[in-house]
Amino acid sequence: MKKAASLTEIGFSPDAKHHLFSPLPDAEPAARTSRHIKITVVGCGNVGMAIAQTILTQDIADEIALVDAQPNKLRGEMLDLQHAAAFLPRVKIASSTDYEITSGSDLAIITAGARQNPGETRLDLLQRNLAIFKKIVPPLAQYSPDCILLVVSNPVDVLTYITWKLSGFPPNRVIGSGTNLDSSRFRFLLADHLNVNAQDVQAYMVGEHGDSSVALWSSISVGGVPVISSLEKNDINLSIEMLEATRKAVVDSAYEVISLKGYTSWAIGYSVASLAFSLLRHQRRIHPVSLLAKGFYGIPEDREVFLSLPAQIGRGGILGVVNIHLTEEEAKRLRRSAETLWECQTQLGI
């Protein structure tokens, strides 16, 4: 008996994947690239260097370019990494305050940005970051017109929108790290409580990377077992208050780390490195990342907001948005999160 070479030969519809994912409007195909992979990291603070170090140890790139406005710190960080060459995969590490060094990048990761001052409004902070991004994004787009732009700086969703506007890139090639890390924190809390490996937990935080984020309780599963429906079948009911307290614990976990050590770095380093690997190695993995969300889940077409949704990513950036089922309450919270972000964006004047 001849074995089937694929599910199509067995009779599965070849169009099945088109029902699982929806493309972004105005998306463009990936540019053809060489096998030499170059990554730029803009901003050599705690977050930027944690990202660079994690990418370096995971052998994702052949070349890493570091850019920062402080030349002495920049050179010091570059040398510190170069001196570890005997213990690491062979990677060229270079640095400069001049964006010409970023030329030919496949992926440009932006971690630079202004920190909020005491008493400063969110809008004032956004205006200062807008001024900074006007100096960062245009030269990145100029020297690497085919690259993917990955924004990590906070507030990440609005800054990803700003990056999209300033770059002129198609929306599939402008991505924010979004709730990729929030979802990892969510999975950790669930795995810790259930005493399982976090990699066996499927759970997403979506929407804004911030206080209005949405926990998708309806789609949580462990080892393929739907958690909420399984608990309900066994007469274990979770109150709305318990679910909200868990969501808030995920949001507050970052603040706890900041209050204890002054900043977050390692978790975001691993989170962004996982995105870099999925993008540049064309893994087609699903990550909750900040993307142009207009038209999805009832978000109006005229709301050009970036917020996090589970998406398949690869060499072309966003390959498709997962058509995940949301309850009516989850969809309502997501639209509310979108409206919060839209109100911020409309005050920017870009």
Binding residues: 43-48, 68, 129, 152-154
18 is catalytic: no
For the chain, give me the number of helices (H) and strands (E)? 11, 15
Annotated binding site for NAD(+): 43-48, 68, 129, 152-154
CB atoms within 10 A of CB 142: 13
Q: How many CB atoms within 10 Å of residue 261?
A: 11
Give the number of other CB atoms < 10 A from CB of residue 75: 16
Query: Which is the catalytic residue, given 83, 193, 209, 325?
Result: 209
| Termini Cα distance of the chain | 64
Buried b (16+ CB within 10 A) or exposed e, 286-323: bbbbbbbbbebbebeeebbbbbbbbbbbbbbbbbbbbe
User: DSSP characters for 301-322?
Assistant: TT---EEEEEEEEETTEEEEEE
Say which DSSP state 262 is in: S
- Could you give phi then psi for residue 288, rounded to 5 degrees? -80, 105
**Per the structure block, which two tokens stand in for 208?**
């804004």
Q: What are phi and psi of 262, to 5 degrees?
A: 95, -15
Contact of 93 with 111, CB cutoff 8 Å:
no
Residue 202 pairs with which residues in a beta bridge? 221
Whether the Cβ atoms of residue 175 and residue 160 lie closer than 8 Å to each other: yes
Residues labelled catalytic: 209
